[in-house]
């Protein structure tokens, strides 16, 4: 539905009571609002409960990360990637180090690649758990939030044991990873955790939230992003796959060692309504958790021996003159880094293509004609992280 | 009221009082008692809500304040709220803004006078008791509308508009669901309704006939909507409307809304108990030692059921809420009335 079409039949354009002029209500949703997942501001024009226009206003979390990249050396900038998508920092680390390594043409040890995949996939699971939890919360379901956070806590503990950090890890460096597996049964703990997650917890979420009648009523056929729209707006990740497009950088433009693992790419199939509705995006995330578990198991069972760092950690990295773009599949979608090097200690320019930024734009089109409650569902199902949008 | 007057007459110093004086003193005592019970139930239920939510969400809830399972947390919260700054937005309609919480509180408070706590123990033994309760609790919606409008905040206005639509709609199935019971009893007096359920669990109205069973659940669903609690918490919807109609309220004025919410919750639970669940009668006949206690325990169990629902289900959307009310619940409750009536005629209960 376009804005013009709506206006014709709506209340706002007519004078229902002679002498009283009615107009659209301008509403500021955010930056301080419980459902905007951070400091996102949505400028709404509404007619009662129906939304006529949505304009996302960004920049409240801008920290000049890209400019800082021109001032700090390649290794130091890894900590800034942690702060992009702070719900899946390992994936962001991975994206950046892949780009630098592409420029340096350095061979990463196999053991380090395996550890990168394991930690990145654990991060992806943690991020998807938050996505399910907060999406449920947007729908008014409080309890799944606490359940998902309980499992996320386990992941944070595991990642703390290997990297020392709970939220911002700074674990991967160009040429490898910072620390090897701790010898306190870490591998067994991870395997135990993913087995529990696969066998029990996902079933719990499905019983409590996924197939709940009210939840389906709220999400099926709501906020439908069709395939053409998703492609036109550059949506990636679960948002694109929710619209039925089978595209995943891990498979289709394989990086690291993802091509060695056997996993499926779940897509939205319109099981409860239309393809590309909020429920489809939700279920894609649930199924991706299962696939991530599969990848982790394969990566850990074939974990090779050897060193985890190809270059000296203490010396600054030497990057030849040139430019490189690398794209990876982060938890939110395609995360790309374009680095131009002039041969110096720091990058000449570092441009980040963040998935949330592109995914968010779609609300301007899909949000029109929805009810305010459905707009909340739509924004929740896009699973945006403001740290990544504003950088 | 009569019991209280008689009691007062027996006390030294009250013997020489005129009837009018006794009545006024009795009313004042009763009103104070009501307000205390209401404030107490708000405190107890906030603690209970947190504990129940904690239990359902696999966490503890408050554990520190007051040492034993954080029992003093609600008291501490009340004290904190008393110490908060009272803010009235500059552009607010000051008179309405100040008055709104009082109307909401009054609506909840008034309805309590007709609750039958025990045989003969009711603040006002009205012939139209049940009708009075529904009428008085309808006042809450006016207060909510006033609060939303006076705040001069768009989110509060949204909450108020939703709240008004919801509460006005759900009063219909709420009242309709109790009509089969009234047909059985032949009276709207709350005492009579309870007395008609004497003689063990099989005489409670919920188990009298299948239509009454359905009517009870219809009443239960409508009562959740009437108290604005999840999954029907449209006026607040913290993830959509920030905090709904009480977004701009702080301190004691906010506490009034809070108080009214929990008083209302207990009230609708008590109505469910005395209309459908046998009031003060115990499930096994002959065990009616403490009628008031039985009544309150049943009420608390109903409150628990309410909390269980709230912390389990997602929220419905506002149009789905209206659909449920007008196209599902009202027809079903009407069917219950007709069905129950036919059963009464065929079983010979009425000529």
Structure confidence by residue, pLDDT tens digits, A176-233: 888 888 888 888 999 999 998 888 888 888 888 888 888 898 888 888 888 898 889 9
- Residues A332-336, mean pLDDT to the nearest whole number: 89
Read off the tokens for B228.
């604005």
Where do runs of H (alpha helix) occur along B117-153? Answer: 129-137, 139-150
Whole-number Å distance between alpha carbons of A336 and B255: 50
Q: Which residues pair with A73 in a beta bridge?
A: A346
Q: What is the pLDDT of residue B5?
A: 63
Query: Is the pLDDT assigned to residue B95 strictly greater than 90?
Result: no
Strands A172-173 and A50-57: unpaired
- Rg from Cα positions in chain A: 22
Q: How far apart are CA B18 and CA A199, in angstroms?
A: 76
Residue in the block written with tokens 């009310």 = B325
Q: How far A5 CA sits from the closest chain B CA (Å)?
A: 22
At residue B7, does pLDDT exceed 80?
A: no
Which chain B residues are closer than 8 Å to A378 by Cβ? none
Domains of chain A (ranges plus CATH)?
23-62 (no CATH), 109-167+179-313 (1.10.645.10)
* pLDDT tens digits, one per residue of A285-311: 999 999 999 999 999 888 888 888 888
Packed helices B330-346 and B154-185: angle between N→C axes, nearest 10 degrees: 10
- pLDDT, residue A2, reads 41
CA distance B298 to chain A (A): 26
User: Is the CB of B319 less than 8 angstroms away from the CB of A371?
Assistant: yes
User: Of A6-20, A200-214, A260-274, which range is least confident?
Assistant: A6-20
DSSP secondary structure letter of residue A107: P
Please judge whether B58 and A217 are an interchain contact, meaning their C-beta atoms are less than 8 angstroms apart.
no
Q: Are B223 and B167 within 8 A, CB to CB? A: no
Say which of A34, A142, A215 has its CB closest to residue B311.
A142
pLDDT at A271: 84
CA nearest neighbour of A97 among A169, A151, A160: A169
Average confidence (pLDDT) over A145-170 = 89
The string of pLDDT tens digits covering residues A66-107 is 888 888 888 888 888 888 888 888 988 898 999 888 888 888
**Separation between Cα atoms, residue A102 and residue A105, nearest integer Å:** 5
Nearest beta carbon to residue B314 from set A27, A136, A146: A136
Structure tokens at A282: 């939700």
Question: Of A27, A140, A217, which has the smallest distance from its Cβ to B154's Cβ?
Answer: A27
Mutation target vs B (from A133, A373, A375, A381; most B CBs, 10 A cutoff): A373
CA B282 to chain CA centroid, nearest Å: 22
* Closest approach of A63 to chain B, Cα-based (Å): 27
Place A5 in a pLDDT band, splitting at 50, 70 and 90. very low
pLDDT above 70 covers what percent of chain A?
Answer: 95
**B237 near A CB under 8 A:** yes
How far away is chain A from the Cα of B51, in angstroms, using its nearest Cα?
13
pLDDT score recorded for residue A1: 40
User: Which residue among B233, B240, B314 places its CB closest to the CB of A214?
Assistant: B314
Our CA-based measurement puts residue B300 at a distance from the nearest CA of chain A, in whole angstroms, of: 22
Question: Which whole-number Å values give the CA distances from B252 to B84, B91, B98, in the listed order?
Answer: 8, 20, 11
C-beta of residue A75 within 8 angstroms of C-beta of residue A316: yes
The reply to whether residue B154 touches residue A138, judged by beta carbons under 8 angstroms, is no
Is the CB of A214 less than 8 angstroms away from the CB of B233? Answer: no
Q: Is B118 helix (H, G, I), strand (E, B) or coil?
A: strand
- Cβ distance of A139 and B56 shorter than 8 Å: no
* CA dihedral sign, ordered A315, A176, A254, A237: negative
What number is the average pLDDT over the span A38-52?
84
Rg (CA), chain B: 21
The string of pLDDT tens digits covering residues B153-198 is: 888 888 888 888 888 888 899 989 999 988 888 888 888 888 888 8
Return the closest-CA partner of residue B294 out of B307, B280, B284.
B280
pLDDT at B350: 61
- The secondary element (H helix, E strand) that includes residue B42 is helix B19-56
Backbone angles phi, psi at B182, to 5 degrees: -60, -35
Contacts of B221 in chain A (CB under 8 A): none
Asked if B312 is an interface residue toward chain A (Cβ–Cβ < 8 A), one would say yes
Read off the pLDDT of residues B69-86 as tens digits, 9 standing for 90 and up.
Answer: 888 888 888 888 888 888
Decide: helix, strand or coil at residue B1: coil
CB-defined contacts A:B, below 8 A: 72
Locate the DSSP E strands across B59-131: none
- Reported confidence tier of residue B16, pLDDT bands at 50, 70, 90: low
Question: Is A380 in contact with A360 (CB distance < 8 Å)?
Answer: no
- Please check whether residue B337 is in contact with residue B183, taking contact to mean a CB–CB distance below 8 angstroms: yes
Name the residue facing A137 among B154, B239, B312 (closest C-beta): B239
Per CB distance under 8 Å, which residues of A are interface residues toward B?
A: 25, 27, 33-35, 49, 136-143, 146-147, 150, 208-209, 212, 214-215, 217-218, 371-374, 376
Confidence of residue A18 (pLDDT cuts 50, 70, 90): low
Region of residue A112 (left: phi > 0; alpha: psi -120 to 50; beta: else): alpha
Are A143 and B56 an interchain contact pair (Cβ–Cβ within 8 Å)?
yes
B190-241 confidence digits (pLDDT tens): 888 888 888 778 888 888 888 888 999 999 999 998 888 878 887 777 667 7
A13 falls in which pLDDT band (50, 70, 90)?
Answer: low
Residue B121 has pLDDT above 80, yes or no: no
Packing angle of the helix pair B154-185, B251-276 (nearest 10 deg): 20
Domain ranges of chain B: 85-346
Output the pLDDT for position A4.
43
Chain segment A132-156, per-residue pLDDT in tens: 988 988 888 888 888 889 899 999 9
Q: Minimal Cα distance from A45: which residue of B?
A: B154
Q: Please judge whether B314 and A215 are an interchain contact, meaning their C-beta atoms are less than 8 angstroms apart.
A: yes
Q: Do B317 and A147 touch (CB under 8 A)?
A: no
As a whole-number percent, the residues of chain B with pLDDT over 70 amount to: 93
Strands (E), chain A: 25-29, 41-47, 50-57, 172-173, 176-177, 322-329, 334-341, 347-353
Residue of A nearest to B162 (CA): A49
Structure tokens, A74: 């390649």
Residue B290: is the preceding peptide bond cis (ω within 30°)? no
Tell me how far apart the alpha carbons of residues A255 and A336 are, in angstroms, rounded to a whole number. 12
CB of A335 closer than 8 Å to CB of A355: yes
Q: How far is B325 from chain A (nearest CA, A)?
A: 15
Maximum separation of any 2 CA atoms in chain B, in Å: 66
- In angstroms, the separation between the Cα of residue A41 and the nearest Cα of chain B is 13
Segment A334-358 mean pLDDT: 88
How far apart (Å, rounded) are the C-alpha atoms in residues A314 and A76? 11
CA nearest A148 in B: which residue?
Answer: B57
Q: How far apart are CA B218 and CA A248, in angstroms?
A: 48
pLDDT mean over A346-368: 88
Between the CA atoms of A362, A364, A366 and A372, what dihedral angle is there, to the nearest 10 degrees?
120
Place of tokens 């004290």: B79
Beta-carbon neighbour count of residue A235 at 10 Å? Answer: 28
User: Which residue carries 């929740």 as its tokens?
Assistant: A380
Q: How confident is the model at residue B113 (pLDDT cuts 50, 70, 90)?
A: confident
pLDDT for the residue B75 = 85
- Chain A: residue whose CA lies nearest to B233: A140
Contact between chains at A214 and B154 (C-beta distance less than 8 A) = no
Copy the structure tokens of residue A145: 């939030």
- What distance in Å separates residue A30's CA from the closest CA in chain B? 10
Mapping DSSP to helix (H, G, I), strand (E, B) and coil, where does residue B28 land? helix
Determine contact: B308 vs chain A, CB below 8 A: no
Buried b / exposed e along B130-161 (16+ C-beta atoms within 10 A): bbbbbebbbbbbbbbbbbbbbbebbbbbbbbb
Residues of chain B with Cβ-Cβ distance to A139 below 8 Å are: 239, 314-315
Give me the pLDDT at residue A7, please: 47
Report residue B69: phi and psi, to 5°: 45, 35
Whether pLDDT at A6 is above 60: no
pLDDT of residue B210: 86
pTM of the model: 0.84
Residues linked to residue A46 through DSSP beta bridges, in sequence order: A25, A51
Q: Are A56 and A333 in contact (CB under 8 A)?
A: no
Backbone angles phi, psi at A41, to 5 degrees: -120, 125
């Amino acid at each position: 539905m376009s804005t013009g079409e709506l206006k014709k039949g709506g209340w706002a354009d007519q004078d229902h009571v002679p002498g009283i002029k009615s107009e659209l209500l301008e509403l500021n949703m955010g930056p301080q609002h419980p459902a905007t997942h951070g400091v996102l501001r949505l400028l709404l024009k509404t007619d009662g409960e129906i939304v006529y226009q949505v304009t996302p206003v960004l920049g409240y979390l801008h920290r000049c990360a890209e400019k800082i990249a021109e001032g700090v050396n390649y290794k130091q900038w890894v900590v800034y990637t942690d702060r992009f998508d702070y719900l899946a920092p390992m994936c962001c680390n991975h994206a950046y180090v892949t780009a630098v390594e592409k420029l340096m043409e350095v061979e990463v040890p196999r053991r380090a690649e395996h550890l990168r995949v394991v930690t990145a996939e654990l991060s992806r699971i943690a991020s998807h758990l938050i996505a399910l939890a907060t999406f449920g919360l947007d729908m008014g379901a409080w309890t799944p939030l606490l359940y998902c956070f309980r499992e996320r806590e386990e992941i944070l503990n595991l990642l703390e044991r290997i990297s020392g950090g709970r939220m911002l890890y700074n674990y991967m460096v160009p040429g490898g990873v910072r620390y090897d597996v701790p010898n306190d049964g870490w591998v067994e703990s991870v395997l135990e955790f993913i087995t529990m997650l696969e066998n029990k917890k996902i079933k719990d979420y499905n019983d409590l939230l996924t197939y709940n009648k009210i939840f389906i009523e709220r999400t099926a056929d709501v906020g439908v992003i069709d395939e053409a729209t998703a492609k036109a707006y550059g949506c990636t990740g679960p948002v694109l796959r929710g619209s039925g497009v089978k595209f995943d950088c891990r498979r289709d433009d394989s990086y690291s060692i993802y091509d060695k693992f056997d996993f499926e790419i779940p897509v939205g199939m319109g099981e409860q309504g239309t393809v590309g509705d909020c429920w489809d995006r939700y279920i894609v995330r649930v199924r991706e958790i299962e696939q991530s578990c599969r990848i982790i198991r394969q990566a850990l069972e074939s974990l090779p021996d050897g060193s985890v760092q190809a270059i000296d950690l203490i010396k600054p990295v030497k990057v030849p003159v040139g430019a490189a773009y690398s794209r990876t599949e982060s938890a939110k979608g395609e995360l790309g880094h374009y680095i131009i090097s002039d041969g110096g200690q720091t990058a000449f320019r570092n441009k980040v293509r963040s998935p949330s930024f592109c995914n968010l734009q779609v609300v301007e089109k899909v949000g029109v004609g929805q009810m305010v409650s459905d707009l909340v569902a739509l924004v929740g199902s896009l699973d945006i992280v403001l740290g990544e949008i504003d950088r | 009221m009569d019991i209280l007057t008689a009691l007062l007459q027996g006390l030294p110093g009250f013997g020489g009082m005129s009837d009018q004086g006794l009545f006024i003193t009795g009313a004042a005592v009763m009103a104070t008692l009501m307000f205390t019970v209401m404030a107490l139930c708000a405190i107890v239920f906030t603690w209970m809500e947190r504990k129940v939510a904690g239990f359902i969400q696999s966490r503890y809830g408050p554990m520190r304040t007051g040492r034993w399972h954080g029992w003093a947390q609600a008291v501490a919260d009340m004290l904190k709220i008393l110490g908060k700054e009272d803010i009235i937005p500059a552009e607010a309609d000051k008179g309405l803004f100040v008055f709104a919480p009082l109307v909401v509180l009054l609506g909840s408070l008034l309805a309590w006078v007709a609750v039958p706590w025990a045989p003969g123990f009711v603040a006002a033994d009205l012939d139209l008791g049940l009708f009075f309760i529904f009428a008085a609790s309808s006042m809450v919606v006016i207060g909510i509308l006033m609060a939303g409008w006076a705040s001069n905040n768009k989110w509060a206005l949204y909450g108020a508009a939703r709240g008004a639509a919801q509460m006005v709609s759900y009063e219909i199935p709420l009242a309709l669901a109790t009509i089969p019971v009234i047909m059985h009893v032949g009276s709207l007096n709350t005492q009579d309704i309870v007395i008609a359920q004497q003689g063990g669990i099989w005489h409670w109205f919920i188990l009298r006939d299948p239509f009454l069973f359905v009517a009870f659940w219809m009443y239960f669903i409508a009562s959740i909507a009437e108290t604005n609690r999840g999954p029907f918490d449209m006026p607040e919807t913290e993830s959509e409307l920030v905090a709904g109609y009480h977004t701009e309220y702080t301190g004691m004025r906010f506490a009034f809304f809070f108080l009214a919410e929990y008083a209302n919750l207990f009230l609708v639970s008590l109505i469910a108990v005395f209309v459908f669940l046998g009031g003060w009668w115990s499930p096994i006949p002959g065990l009616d030692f403490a009628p008031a206690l039985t009544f309150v325990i049943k009420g608390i169990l109903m409150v628990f059921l309410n909390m269980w629902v709230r912390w389990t289900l997602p929220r419905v959307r506002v149009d789905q809420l209206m659909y449920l009310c007008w196209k599902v619940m009202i027809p079903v409750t009407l069917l219950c009335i007709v069905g129950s009536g036919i059963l009464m005629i065929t079983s010979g209960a009425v000529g």
